Structure formats: C-alpha cells, structure tokens
A and B are shown apart, each in its own frame.
Chain A
C-alpha cells in the first residue's frame, strides 16, 4: 500500500517541475515499472500517443505491471488498477466506466479538485470536480456533509441531444465526450445539465491578475509558461494559445468551449486511474468497469447504501454515492 502511494506521489510531485509535454503525462505505471524492474529506457506509457514520431500503442493491450493475484491488505488503488487493466483487454464497447464515491470517507480536503485542475490544466472558472460542502441543521446543532461532484457520465445524458452541432456525444464506453474542435460555444449544454457539471472556458489565466513582486517576475513568467502547457484531454494535446488580434472571432480551443469531467479517459486508456481517484487521501473515490461484476466499483455500486443524484430525472448517472 505504502509503496504504491509513495510512487504515485512521486509522479504527481515530479510532473509539474518538468515542462515538456512528455514529462507532464508520464504515468504512474511507468514509474512502477521503473521501480520494479530497473528498466528505465524507452518505457513511456502515458505520452506515447501525443509523440509524433512514436507509433500509437493500442489502448486495449497495455503491458500489465501488476501481478493478477490480489495480495493481502493491498491498497484499493492496486485492485482498481487491475480492474482497469482487465477492462482495457475488452473491446471499448464492452466497457462501462463508472465511479463510486464514499461520502462517509470524504473529508473535503479538495485534493481531487486540485489534482483534476493540475491534470487537465484548468484555467480560472473552469472546474470539473468541485466538492460541495453542506451544512445540515441549525447552529449549534450542525454537522457537515461533503459531496464531490464529477460529471455523472449519464447513460441518458441531457447535455448531448441539445448540442446543435453534435459536438458532444456518448462514447462506446459510456463517457460523455466533448469534441473541442467542433464545439461552437453556445453553452446550451451548460443550461441542460441538471448537475451543472459543465463550465465554460472564458480564456482566463491564473497569472493575469497575479502580483509579480520585486523578485517575482521570473517566477510569474514560469508560472505563466506552465499555464500554457497542454492538457491531454481525450488523448490529444491542447496547449493554451491566447489568440491574436481577432481572438474574439478565432479562439483556440479549448478556450471558448464547454468543458467537463471525462473520467480522465486519456489516463484510463493508458492504464492509469483518473487523477481524482489517485489523489484522494481517504480512498473515498473508486473507479472501474461497471460491466465487470468482479470489479470493485461493481461490488460497491450494488450495495444497498449506493445512491445516485436526481434519480427521478431518468438521466441514469454512472456515478454512485455511498451514504
């Protein structure tokens, strides 16, 4: 348990320091492979698809770095990792990615929110997974409950049919995707989501209002450069380009687009867990294939205390909450 967590942390801590896209998407699997085998060269898992010279690895056949047998007292992350790898052996249309969030374990540390912001290079105002802090009762008899809110990846998504240009759609594995190159930015889908899981990219930058300070200009420049680094949503690099003189007409996607949580499918398809699952300090978020009865998420979603948000709307979310 500790070793996996430690390695994971190394990856998270290491990635931001390096500026190249390749380093930014290096996955935990690579690190695990390095640690386990001592083979360091040529084993980049996460970045392969975005490298022009490297042939894309088939998503369905990752080399499993784990033993398939479960071990005593292993971290649930290890089991979920195995679940993901097993699912990736199947054709995409047989997978059904789902998430289970144990609200009893959530302490509202916001590590999932922040991890998501880092992974997807989210600008100000764009958030995929806020944690709602609910106060129940009247002072002094109050208690607090926390509700992380990713995209529900509805089986019957209200955001999909409203799109005038069919830029958002449900993938064969059930994840609702946005085609950034097609989205016209009308924001109809933002109004249609009953969970308000979609936000609009106004093109803002974290550093634009930051104070530089006497010796801070360099740091600010670096921070700004980092901000322009690409995210790898949907398996493609999306660098932030501020735009030219007519940027109001020709924005560079994802600026000017609707954006939302996508279960980090770019990571998942490389055998990595979604960032929020990885960074959850309390192991309160679970991820896997709901079509696989032996996966952890399938077991948890079948529990009697599993519930979904706004069931009455018939949206059929694929995010379950344990209460």
Chain B
C-alpha cells in the first residue's frame, strides 16, 4: 500500500510537471499563433497533424475493441467495454483539439459545418467525427445505464439491443472515418509516398493496434480487481496486440517495399529520408526496436500481465513515431527540384524538426487527456469498485 501511495505521488508530480509545461504551450498557441512552430510552407504539416492522426487512431481502435463486445458478443472483454468507450471519447477530444490548434484560423472552425465542401476528405472527416462523437456519448449512456443495479430486466434487454444497433452503426463509421483519415493523405496525387491505396488500410491496422494496445495498457495498470478474470482479459488483449503488431508490420512492409524495391520513383527519396535520413532513429529505434521487436519479445517470452502491460505501453508510446513517419517524409522532397534554394526563408525549408513549443502543445494535450481519463475513471461507473476512494 505504501508502494502504491508513493507511486501515486510520483505520477501526480509527473502529471503536474507535464500540465505546467504543456499549459505554457497552450497559452502561447492562443496568444502568439503559429510564430513559434517550426513547420514551413513546404513541410506544412508537422507534429500536430501527426498527433492528430495518432489520437484519432487511438479513439477508433479502442472503440472497435468495445464493439467486439456490443456487436460481436465477445464475452471475455465485456468488463472493459465501457472503459473502452470512454477512452474513445477522451482520445477523440484530444484529436479534435490538436487539429484545432493546427488551424491558421481557429475561430473559423465552424465553417466546416456551415459551408462544407464534400469533395474534400477533410470535410468528410469532421462530419463523420461529429456523428461518431454523438454515437459514443449515446453508447456510453446506454452502457452505464444498462448495468445500473436495480434496472428492470426488460429495460436492460432494450438497452442491450440499442447498444448492438448503435455499435453496428459505429463499426462502419469508425472504419470510414479512420480509413478516411488515411484517404485524406492517400488521395493527394502530388505526394508520391502518400498516394497509395495501402494508406487507408495502413491507418486502420495502425488504429486497431495502437487503440488495442492502449486499452491493454490501461487495463493492466488501472484495473481495480487483480483476479483471474483480469488475467484472462489481459491474456486475450496481449494476444490481440501481438496479432495486430504482426498484421501492421506486414502492411508496412507491403507499403514501403513496393514503393522502393527497384530504387526508382519519386517515393524512393522520401523513403530513403525516412529510413536513412537525419531522423532514421524514429523508424529504426523508436518504431522497429521499441514498437515492434521488443513488444513481440515481451508478449511471446514473458506471458505475465506485466509483460503484456509493458509491451502494450511501448506500442502506444512509440506509435507517435509511426504517425510522424506517415506524415512528414511524404513532404520532405521538393516537388520541383531546386525549389529548396529558389527563395530562401526559414519558412521555405524542407527540413522539419518539431520545436519545443510544438512539443509543449502536444504534452499539454496529453496531460489534458490524462486528466479527463482520471476524472472519468474516478467518478463515472466505468470500472468495478473494490473499495470506494482507495484505488487510484
């Protein structure tokens, strides 16, 4: 218990530090605009766009995990379905906040509703997110209501039916919006690396993997009851994560090997930059080593809850590297050779590294997400209570 208490204290300190660090960034974003950001006109999307697809992937993934219960009736995951729904809501909010901060005119965000252009994948995204947000809230209300003690059996059955219906709408919706985020990139003819039918598929497998791993990590760390049911859930989640790592790796291999096998073509330079350029370590160390190899080793070799927890946590944390590699390398080569020296400005550079300020905003958003998660975890009936108020 004292160990738990000191761990809690450490987590509080870390969170407060992150909130302060990030809070400064958020204030600077509101008062100074984009002045402190490092992205340019030639690499116009940077860390915030990568963070946005990272969060939205987490949301889609954890939602699809909940639909395994509500739509496909997987009983072994029943206990964590509500929590998955809530995590999907929180990460969706984080995604929308991040992309809002990325806009040049934040105050004009409403225009996506008042004057949408439905040719644009981006307009579709926002409309689908909105539908998805309401669906998540409705599902969450139904799910908590149906499990309230003393609720009549017939009402519970009705709630369950509605959950199945909403979940059945939600599954294609989640596939549409997250596949759609991949399509937002994939439809851009000008960017050779993005312009591939594999991109939306890669986004979906990434969402399933990162969202599944996030739920596995959360269940491993925060689940109040450390009983056989918990161990069983974690075993299943661990296996799901393992399978999804392998699937995602296969898709990645397909995407990148096809594009660069003969070493000819516009995407080759971009992939070379990603694999062997100045930020090679994002792919090889962050992603391949700590996001694939080590987690696979842990999941196969250490078949204990701690192994699954550590592996999942590694996958979730390192996945921001995958998202960065999905956004930035596609932008780093000039569309017309020589453009890089035609007119010199730090805003017309093809070399991009996120600034401290961009990281601050990212950390601030993550800290906000942790706070939202904690509030829900403490005050909403999402997890079984062991002893009220003790577990944190």
User: Is the Cβ of B336 less than 8 Å from the Cβ of A149?
Assistant: yes
CB of B44 within 8 A of chain A?
Answer: yes
Q: Which residues of the other chain, B, contact A134 by a CB distance below 8 angstroms? A: 337-338
Provide the B24-44 mask, 1 if CB < 8 A to any CB of A, else 0: 000011111111000011101
User: Is the Cβ of B35 less than 8 Å from the Cβ of A202?
Assistant: yes
Q: Of residues 106 to 141 in A, which have CB atoms within 8 Å of B's CB atoms?
A: 113, 124-127, 130-134
User: Is the Cβ of A199 less than 8 Å from the Cβ of B347?
Assistant: yes
Q: Which residues of the other chain, B, contact A200 by a CB distance below 8 angstroms? A: 41, 44, 104, 347
Q: Which residues of the other chain, A, contact B29 by a CB distance below 8 angstroms? A: 248
Q: Which residues of the other chain, A, contact B188 by a CB distance below 8 angstroms? A: 158, 162, 191-192
CB of B285 within 8 A of chain A?
Answer: no
CB of A309 within 8 A of chain B?
Answer: yes
User: Is the Cβ of A193 less than 8 Å from the Cβ of B343?
Assistant: no
Q: Could you tell me the distance in whole angstroms from the C-beta of A38 to the nearest C-beta in chain B? A: 42
User: Is the Cβ of B115 less than 8 Å from the Cβ of A125?
Assistant: no
Q: Could you tell me the distance in whole angstroms from the C-beta of B363 to the nearest C-beta in chain A? A: 18
CB of A161 within 8 A of chain B?
Answer: yes
User: Is the Cβ of A309 less than 8 Å from the Cβ of B336?
Assistant: yes
User: Is the Cβ of A188 less than 8 Å from the Cβ of B122?
Assistant: yes
Alpha-carbon distance between A193 and B335 when the two chains are bound, in angstroms: 9
User: Is the Cβ of B339 less than 8 Å from the Cβ of A250?
Assistant: no
Stretch at the interface among B106-114, B218-226, B291-299: B106-114
The chain A residue sitting closest to B346, CB to CB, is A125
Stretch at the interface among A91-99, A163-171, A221-229: A163-171
User: Is the Cβ of B117 less than 8 Å from the Cβ of A164?
Assistant: yes
Q: Which residues of the other chain, A, contact B111 by a CB distance below 8 angstroms? A: 165, 167, 182, 184
Q: Of residues 240 to 256 in A, which have CB atoms within 8 Å of B's CB atoms?
A: 243, 245-251, 253, 255-256
Q: Which residue, A113, A165, A182, A202, has most C-beta atoms of chain B within 10 A?
A: A165
CB of A204 within 8 A of chain B?
Answer: yes
Q: Which residues of the other chain, A, contact B197 by a CB distance below 8 angstroms? A: none
Q: Could you tell me the distance in whole angstroms from the C-beta of B360 to the nearest C-beta in chain A? A: 13
Provide the B319-350 mask, 1 if CB < 8 A to any CB of A, else 0: 00000000000010011111101110111100
Known contacts A164-B116, A165-B115, A188-B120; is-contact A133 B106 (Cβ 8 Å): no
Alpha-carbon distance between A263 and B31 when the two chains are bound, in angstroms: 34
CB of A262 within 8 A of chain B?
Answer: no
* Cβ contact of A184, chosen from B42, B103, B339, cutoff 8 A: B103
Q: Could you tell me the distance in whole angstroms from the C-beta of B291 to the nearest C-beta in chain A? A: 26
Q: Which residues of the other chain, B, contact A323 by a CB distance below 8 angstroms? A: none
Q: Which residues of the other chain, B, contact A149 by a CB distance below 8 angstroms? A: 336, 339, 342
The chain A residue sitting closest to B122, CB to CB, is A164
User: Is the Cβ of A247 less than 8 Å from the Cβ of B126?
Assistant: no
Alpha-carbon distance between A33 and B383 when the two chains are bound, in angstroms: 82
User: Is the Cβ of B106 less than 8 Å from the Cβ of A182?
Assistant: no
Known contacts A133-B342, A163-B120; is-contact A203 B33 (Cβ 8 Å): yes
The chain A residue sitting closest to B104, CB to CB, is A185
Q: Which residue, A196, A251, A256, has most C-beta atoms of chain B within 10 A?
A: A196
Known contacts A147-B336, A147-B338, A193-B190; is-contact A182 B117 (Cβ 8 Å): no
Q: Which residues of the other chain, B, contact A166 by a CB distance below 8 angstroms? A: 115-117
Known contacts A251-B105, A256-B104; is-contact A124 B338 (Cβ 8 Å): no
User: Is the Cβ of A256 less than 8 Å from the Cβ of B347?
Assistant: no
CB of B102 within 8 A of chain A?
Answer: yes
User: Is the Cβ of A247 less than 8 Å from the Cβ of B119?
Assistant: no
Q: Could you tell me the distance in whole angstroms from the C-beta of B247 to the nearest C-beta in chain A? A: 28
Alpha-carbon distance between A190 and B120 when the two chains are bound, in angstroms: 14
* Cβ contact of B34, chosen from A158, A161, A163, A256, cutoff 8 A: A256
User: Is the Cβ of B115 less than 8 Å from the Cβ of A247?
Assistant: no
User: Is the Cβ of B115 less than 8 Å from the Cβ of A257?
Assistant: no
The chain A residue sitting closest to B331, CB to CB, is A191
Provide the B281-312 mask, 1 if CB < 8 A to any CB of A, else 0: 00000000000000000000000000000000
Contacts between chains A and B (CB distance < 8 A), count? 171
The chain B residue sitting closest to A148, CB to CB, is B342
The chain A residue sitting closest to B192, CB to CB, is A194
CB of B162 within 8 A of chain A?
Answer: no
Alpha-carbon distance between A34 and B341 when the two chains are bound, in angstroms: 42
CB of A313 within 8 A of chain B?
Answer: yes
CB of A187 within 8 A of chain B?
Answer: yes
CB of B171 within 8 A of chain A?
Answer: no
Q: Which residues of the other chain, A, contact B346 by a CB distance below 8 angstroms? A: 125
User: Is the Cβ of B190 less than 8 Å from the Cβ of A132?
Assistant: no
Known contacts A185-B104, A191-B45; is-contact A130 B123 (Cβ 8 Å): no
Provide the B238-261 mask, 1 if CB < 8 A to any CB of A, else 0: 000000000000000000000000
The chain A residue sitting closest to B37, CB to CB, is A202
The chain B residue sitting closest to A187, CB to CB, is B44
Q: Of residues 117 to 135 in B, which have CB atoms within 8 Å of A's CB atoms?
A: 117, 119-123, 126
CB of B264 within 8 A of chain A?
Answer: no
Q: Which residues of the other chain, B, contact A164 by a CB distance below 8 angstroms? A: 112, 116-117, 120, 122-123, 126
Alpha-carbon distance between A182 and B32 when the two chains are bound, in angstroms: 21
* Cβ contact of A198, chosen from B41, B104, B117, B331, cutoff 8 A: B41
Alpha-carbon distance between A132 and B342 when the two chains are bound, in angstroms: 5
Q: Which residues of the other chain, A, contact B119 by a CB distance below 8 angstroms? A: 161-162
* Cβ contact of A251, chosen from B104, B120, B342, cutoff 8 A: B104
CB of B189 within 8 A of chain A?
Answer: yes
Q: Which residues of the other chain, B, contact A162 by a CB distance below 8 angstroms? A: 119-122, 187-188
User: Is the Cβ of A165 less than 8 Å from the Cβ of B117?
Assistant: yes
CB of B178 within 8 A of chain A?
Answer: no
Q: Which residues of the other chain, A, contact B33 by a CB distance below 8 angstroms? A: 202-203, 243, 247-248, 251, 255-256
Q: Could you tell me the distance in whole angstroms from the C-beta of B341 to the nearest C-beta in chain A? A: 7
User: Is the Cβ of B41 less than 8 Å from the Cβ of A199?
Assistant: yes
* Cβ contact of B347, chosen from A125, A147, A198, cutoff 8 A: A125
Known contacts A191-B191, A249-B106; is-contact A196 B339 (Cβ 8 Å): yes
In the A-B complex, list the 9 residue pairs whose CB atoms are closest, starting with the nearest: A185-B104, A125-B347, A256-B104, A130-B342, A199-B41, A166-B117, A194-B190, A130-B343, A164-B122
Known: A113-B343, A149-B336, A248-B106. 16 other contacts (CB 8 A): A125-B346, A158-B189, A162-B120, A163-B117, A164-B123, A186-B104, A191-B188, A191-B190, A196-B41, A196-B336, A201-B104, A203-B35, A248-B28, A249-B106, A253-B105, A256-B104
11 pairs of residues in contact across A and B, judged by CB atoms under 8 Å: A130-B339, A147-B336, A161-B119, A165-B116, A185-B103, A191-B45, A191-B188, A191-B190, A194-B189, A247-B31, A253-B105
